[in-house]
Amino acid sequence: MGLTLAVVLIVYFGIILGISIWSAFHTRTEVDFIAAGRTIGPIVGGAVLAATQISAGTVVGTLGRHYLAGVSWWWIWLGVWSGWLASAFLVAPKLRRFGALTVPDYIAARFGSEKARALAATLIIISYSIYLVAQFQASGEIAFAILGMQPLTAMIILVVSTAFYTLLGGVRSSSYIEFLQTLIMVTGLVIAVPILLSHAGGIGQSLSFLQSLDPRLLGWHYGPRELIAFGISFGLSIAAAPYELTRFYSMRSERTVKQAIAVSIGFQLVIGLAVLSIGLLTRVLFPNLASADQASSIMAFEVLPPLVGALLIVAMLSAIMSTVNSVLLVTGASVAHDLYGRFLRPKASQQHLVTVNRISILVLAVIPIYFALQKFGDVQSIVVEQTKFIASFFFVPIVIGLNWKRGTAAGAIAAMLGGFLACLVWEFTGQRGFAAHGIDAVEVGVVTSLVLFVVVSHFTKPVSESSLEIFFGRRRS
């Protein structure tokens, strides 16, 4: 396994290096760096959206959640895909038509407020830094389980390699690398299923064992109420997730964006089913692991044949790298484009902004390592927390803001701040006292955000018609 894994890793990183260098020669302006010159087509775009969506949270966290809790966790995918569909019909076409570079660009233009832009950029940096913690923690888990490597070393290697290709080629290199990563993830995960099934003695034998081990594994480990709450947090956050939305800007047209979302859902369906099967079959083969997050790496290293195991390890690595890369691109752009470029050096040259973006990426990549080493929770729990925050402060100003003309800057600021604080307070204080009512923090956050948006907008001055024209005017043919 060791030699096979080494060869597969060398080939993988060699290809990434090649794509990065090629992209660096094609990246000259900020539009090239943040939006790949708006040249991405539906297949690569769909794979990119899938790669961004499929993270450590999926290949380590979701797989581990299926290992522990069984089939019922799969229903959260319905929430995820509802979010994508909402994005495809209510968000993506308008955002792509607007053609900006970042989500705070949209916030500033739609509500005519630079304060709203600054707040959006700040919240993006905070919430996505939490997301990076989960990705880094997963990389540490995998490296420790497979190679016995110290988590800190694994995290440093991950940051250096991902930051390298992100810094070099921006979204262009990221897009082609993520296309490759999605193909690796699909292949590695799908091929693993029949092997595990053959070891486990077939479908009937596996189901019978799981049923006896814990009947909830094949039934309802989570109740519908919990699944709805998880589904809402994933769905609402995806409909308004800046690291996904930013990728729309790199695609050729509004039509390309819709096609890419359909392609992405197809990839996610295959990956989701494979992850469910692998989680359950790993439970059959190893019923008592100390940590569910180890399920994927143990299965790759101890169960699968060397080449398939190596491919799966690269798939896990790809999932983490692609998400880290997308998060770094969106947080780096928030610092360089939305804060530095707008408030500190408005007259900075394109080249200067690209340099600041690269430095920001490097700094933002290093900070979450400290928190990842503290291990605040399992990977999936950290991902769920982060999605709750994103949904609470971004869903209303983005999805409702794009479809309700009366929303104002003050309303958007109140919605973002109020939603964020309501989610934070409920999650860390109130929820314990009110858990019996089954009200989740994301629901409190989104409802607070919506109420504030409507009420504050109603009592404040409407946004000028000229600002709204691009979002609500007739489509140019």
Partner 1 sequence: MPVTSLLIVAALQLTTADITIDLTGATTVVEARYEWDEPFEFLTFNVIRLPRQAFRLIPGATSNTIEIDTLAGLYRVRLTSVTSLNRTAVIRYEVTGDTFRIPLAVPEIPTEPGVGRVTITIGGLSSHVALSDGFPRLERRTDDYATAELDNVPSFVRLPPNVGDWSVNKLAEITVIMLVALASLYWLLRRRRVLSHRTSGNSQ
> Which residues of this protein are in contact with partner 1, per CB under 8 A?
65, 68-69, 144-145, 148, 183, 187, 191-192, 194-195, 198-199, 201, 205, 208-213, 222, 226, 284-292, 294, 298, 302-308, 311, 377-378, 380-381, 384, 435
Nearest residue (CB) to partner 1, 192 versus 261: 192
CB closer to partner 1 out of 289 and 359? 289
Q: How far is the CB of 30 from partner 1 (least distance, A)?
A: 27
**What is the closest distance, in whole angstroms, from the C-beta atom of residue 193 to partner 1 in the complex?**
10
Distance of CA 9 to the CA centre of its chain: 24
One DSSP character per residue, 47-113 reads HHHHHHHS-HIIIIIIHHHHHHH-GGGGGHHHHHHHHHHHIIIIIHHHHHHHT-SSHHHHHHHHHT-
Least distance from partner 1 to the Cβ atom of residue 201, Å? 6
Give yes or no for a contact between 407 and 463, defined as CB atoms under 8 angstroms apart: yes
- DSSP structure string for 259-296: HHHHHHHHHHHHHHHHHHHHHHHHHHH-S--S-GGGHH
263 vs 456 by CB, closer to partner 1: 263
Residue 323 burial by CB count (10 A; 0-12/13-18/19+): exposed, middle or buried?
A: buried
**Contact between residue 299 and residue 199 where contact means Cβ atoms under 8 Å apart:** no
CB nearer to partner 1: give 64 or 83: 64
Q: How many angstroms separate the CA atoms of 14 and 314, rounded?
A: 13
Q: Give the SS3 label for residue 27.
A: coil
Give residue 201's region: left, alpha or beta (phi > 0; psi -120 to 50): left
For residue 431, the minimal CB distance to partner 1 (Å) is 8
Alpha-carbon distances of 411 from 145, 454, 471, 473, rounded to whole Å = 48, 7, 17, 21
CB closer to partner 1 out of 87 and 127: 127
Spatial separation of the C-alpha atoms in residues 151 and 156, rounded to whole Å:
9
Least CB distance to partner 1 at residue 69 (A): 6
Of the pair 406, 432, the CB lying nearest partner 1 is at: 432
Nearest approach in angstroms of CB 443 to partner 1 is 15
Least Å distance, CB 174 to partner 1, is 19
Distance from C-alpha of 58 to C-alpha of 383, rounded to nearest angstrom:
9
Among 53, 59, 61, 8, smallest CA distance to 192 is for: 59
- CB closer to partner 1, 148 vs 433: 148
Least distance from C-beta 149 to partner 1, angstroms? Answer: 11
C-beta of 334 vs 380, nearer to partner 1: 380
